[in-house]
Chain A
Amino acid sequence: MAQHPAKPPRVGDKPAIRWTLIAFVVFFGSLLVLAPLLVIFTQAFALGIGHFAETIALPDTRHAIFLTVLTALIAVPLNTIFGIAAAWAITKFEFWGRRFLLIVIEIPFSISPVVAGVAYLFVYGLQGLFGPALQSAEIQILFALPGIVLASMFVTAPFVARELIPLMQAQGRDLEEAATSLGASGWRTFLTVTLPNIRWALLYGVVLCNARVMGEFGAVSVVSGKIRGQTNTLPLHIELLYHDYNTVGAFAAASILAVLALVTIVAKLALERRGAGRAGRPALASPTVAIQEKTS
């Protein structure tokens, strides 16, 4: 900037613009995000904390919470592995169809989850490709946990890869190539060179993926079968309670879902803070140092 004094001032240099912009963002942020969140919690406790606890303690609600957490515990690690593998393959290797793979990974972003759910019906449903064979083998995919996990995984497949790919592209292959040329195995290179470089992006991807898995409604509602106490996830259960004129119950369940999401975000912030405190150096430097130490 200093060498171009003639340039007009940037947006935000004038206090009036700065404050208008900030006020605008704060206003709409509160209106769009904070107000509904507050409503959820006030409605949930509208009839007192006793009633809230009672609703949460209902077996169906408890099971819905359990099922949602269980789905996340299966889907998120699998998608994390998939995301790392995909990002690695796309950014570190040259191969035919690389761009195509990139597009495939992005598909779930642009497709409505309901379409995904219906697509699974056509593949695994009784009228679909494998349905009759699966039924005669007594394997239940749809309207059971596997279907819910598959649908959730479809919807959240891009999250980790999308966070990693730009970063890994920017970082290039130099460090990994150096590590390999110095004799590190592929696995070791990944653990000591790549992983430390991508950890924050990875963490962010995992958090987003987790939040989305827990909140997924459209795809899951098609393949779940909505059996209370068996295949009703928390978002589906909220809808059920709401349609049943159990407003407080619906908001109580919604507040639990909101809390689950908030917990992931807080966990991410806490991890970031700890990590940032410990590593007071640029992230890129650390793996290089590690390799040097090894060879000296």
Chain B
Amino acid sequence: MKRLLLAGAAAALLFAAPAQAQSPDKILNSSYDIARELFAAINEAFVPAYKAQTGRDVTVDQSHGGTSAQARSIAEGLEADVVTFNQTTDIDFLVQQGFVSEDWQSEFPNNASPYYSFPSFLVREGNPKNITDWDDLARDDVEVIFPNPKTSGNARYTYLAAVAYAKEAFGDDEEKIAEFVGKIFDNVPVFDTGGRGATTTFIERGIGDVIITFEAETRSIAREYGEDSYDSVVPSVSLLAEFPVAIVDRVAERRGSQELAKDYLNFLYSEEGQRIAATFGNRVHDEKVTAEFADQFPEVRLVTAEDVFGGWDRIQEEHFASDAKLDQIFGDR
């Protein structure tokens, strides 16, 4: 009996254990789910660089997951000092909840997006169907793979990029735009729920002629499954996808980690940070690094959600809300 009581007491103690001693030598970076290796490399470079600069030993912990879920966790008390997301809207959610200051996009350069990417194509070796641009995706003999835009943020970018292309091709003829995008949707044999599922469909099940996902991800897919078996194809025009970063002010203030958080995010803009991001297939702003990687990153004209669609609020309203344009195109499929 005594032993049982002891075990109970120990358990009770464990549950009552206070949060880890708060030390500003440690920050938590909450990030999107496919950035594990990127930030492992970033952190490995940041720690010694920071030590050389300030003499302080610091640790950066990482949490990865779908960014909507990550933002939710932070709102529920996950003590992340910084967020490095792949969707602006999830940081906006943290703004609404009072965790991130409203002017976060002006706190760091380039709309607080240290690197960027865009929907791009990965085709099978030698590009047998000769797919070079968005209009090829609407051809009758092409099978296209991308996940369900209702459930995948990645696929929403694909959808918007296709619409952006169609807008340029057909002007404001809404009917033609819907028809064009509808044709592409018709060419998708399976809509997986997420990017990873779509990759499995394309690679392991061998379905489809082209998979559409962020350019950075086409690189990691090729790296994992064989550079020789797949070719990256960059379309003539695509939609800028920002990878926004922000300090979670409410957590950082509570923990006194603002300065370290700021230095960490600034490191992403340093030459070294930019080079690491580029190694993982992301496009960067640093001119020197861009020049170094010029042969890996073909020219592409990128349009922004702001310019083409008038911002994310309007996109949500006109395209992604129930019964809006996406539903109308996607409805019967």
Output the nearest chain B residue to A81 by Cβ-Cβ distance: B4
- For B75, list chain A residues within 8 Å (CB): 125-127
Complex Cα–Cα for A245 and B223 (A): 9
- Beta-carbon contact of B64 and A228 below 8 Å: yes
- Beta-carbon contact of A244 and B76 below 8 Å: no
* Contact partner, A244, options B1, B4, B28, B34, Cβ 8 Å: B34
- Beta-carbon contact of B19 and A144 below 8 Å: yes
Q: Beyond A226-B65, A244-B36: 5 further Cβ-contacts under 8 Å? A: A81-B4, A125-B76, A131-B76, A138-B18, A245-B221
The A-contacting residues of B in range 164-215, CB under 8 angstroms, are 196, 199
**B103 contacts chain A at the CB level, 8 A cutoff:** no
Complex Cα–Cα for A137 and B223 (A): 47
Q: A131-B76, A245-B224 are in contact. Are A77 and B61 (CB under 8 A)?
A: no
- Beta-carbon contact of A126 and B65 below 8 Å: no
**A251 contacts chain B at the CB level, 8 A cutoff:** no
- For A139, list chain B residues within 8 Å (CB): 16-19
**B7 contacts chain A at the CB level, 8 A cutoff:** yes
**A145 contacts chain B at the CB level, 8 A cutoff:** yes
User: Digit string of B56-86 for contact with A (CB within 8 Å is 1, else 0)?
Assistant: 0000011111000000010111110000000
- Beta-carbon contact of A242 and B63 below 8 Å: no
Q: A187-B1, A243-B34 are in contact. Are A226 and B76 (CB under 8 A)?
A: no
- Beta-carbon contact of A142 and B18 below 8 Å: no
* Contact partner, A240, options B14, B33, B220, B221, Cβ 8 Å: B33
- Beta-carbon contact of B11 and A225 below 8 Å: no
Q: Closest CB-CB distance, A62 to chain B, in whole Å?
A: 15
Q: A227-B63, A245-B224 are in contact. Are A143 and B79 (CB under 8 A)?
A: yes
- Beta-carbon contact of A142 and B61 below 8 Å: no
**A230 contacts chain B at the CB level, 8 A cutoff:** yes
Complex Cα–Cα for A246 and B38 (A): 13
- Beta-carbon contact of A229 and B11 below 8 Å: no
Complex Cα–Cα for A84 and B86 (A): 48
Q: A77-B7, A131-B76, A247-B224 are in contact. Are A230 and B61 (CB under 8 A)?
A: yes
**10 smallest beta-carbon distances between A and B, as pairs:** A125-B76, A140-B19, A126-B77, A245-B224, A225-B78, A143-B78, A244-B36, A227-B63, A228-B62, A226-B63
Complex Cα–Cα for A125 and B77 (A): 6
- For B106, list chain A residues within 8 Å (CB): none
- Beta-carbon contact of A145 and B77 below 8 Å: no
* Contact partner, B62, options A187, A227, A242, Cβ 8 Å: A227
- Beta-carbon contact of B196 and A135 below 8 Å: no
Number of interface residues of B (CB under 8 A): 33
Output the nearest chain B residue to A245 by Cβ-Cβ distance: B224
- For B223, list chain A residues within 8 Å (CB): 245
- Beta-carbon contact of A244 and B37 below 8 Å: yes
**A74 contacts chain B at the CB level, 8 A cutoff:** yes
**A209 contacts chain B at the CB level, 8 A cutoff:** no
Interface size class of A (residues with CB under 8 A): 35 or more
Greatest chain A CB density within 10 A among B4, B34, B62, B220 is at B62
Output the nearest chain B residue to A244 by Cβ-Cβ distance: B36
Output the nearest chain A residue to B33 by Cβ-Cβ distance: A243
Greatest chain B CB density within 10 A among A78, A138, A243 is at A243
- Beta-carbon contact of A226 and B196 below 8 Å: no
- For B1, list chain A residues within 8 Å (CB): 187
Complex Cα–Cα for A246 and B223 (A): 10
Output the nearest chain B residue to A75 by Cβ-Cβ distance: B11
**B20 contacts chain A at the CB level, 8 A cutoff:** yes
Q: Closest CB-CB distance, B131 to chain A, in whole Å?
A: 23
- Beta-carbon contact of A142 and B77 below 8 Å: yes
Q: A243-B34, A245-B224 are in contact. Are A143 and B77 (CB under 8 A)?
A: yes
- For B20, list chain A residues within 8 Å (CB): 140
**A128 contacts chain B at the CB level, 8 A cutoff:** yes
- Beta-carbon contact of B220 and A228 below 8 Å: no
A/B interface sample: 18 pairs, CB < 8 A: A77-B7, A121-B76, A125-B75, A125-B76, A139-B17, A140-B19, A142-B76, A143-B77, A144-B19, A226-B63, A226-B65, A229-B61, A240-B64, A242-B196, A243-B64, A244-B37, A245-B220, A246-B224
- Beta-carbon contact of B36 and A240 below 8 Å: yes
Q: A227-B63, A240-B64 are in contact. Are A74 and B76 (CB under 8 A)?
A: no
- Beta-carbon contact of A74 and B18 below 8 Å: no
Output the nearest chain A residue to B59 by Cβ-Cβ distance: A229
Complex Cα–Cα for A149 and B75 (A): 21
- For A108, list chain B residues within 8 Å (CB): none
- For A121, list chain B residues within 8 Å (CB): 76
Output the nearest chain A residue to B225 by Cβ-Cβ distance: A245
Q: Closest CB-CB distance, B118 to chain A, in whole Å?
A: 19
User: Digit string of A201-231 for contact with B (CB within 8 Å is 1, else 0)?
Assistant: 0000000000000000000010001111111
Q: Closest CB-CB distance, A131 to chain B, in whole Å?
A: 6
The A-contacting residues of B in range 24-72, CB under 8 angstroms, are 28, 33-34, 36-37, 61-65
- For B14, list chain A residues within 8 Å (CB): 74, 145-146, 149
Q: A121-B76, A244-B37 are in contact. Are A226 and B64 (CB under 8 A)?
A: yes
- For A240, list chain B residues within 8 Å (CB): 33, 36, 64
The B-contacting residues of A in range 108-131, CB under 8 angstroms, are 121, 124-128, 131
Complex Cα–Cα for A141 and B17 (A): 9
Output the nearest chain A residue to B35 by Cβ-Cβ distance: A244
The B-contacting residues of A in range 145-180, CB under 8 angstroms, are 145-146, 149
- Beta-carbon contact of B64 and A142 below 8 Å: no
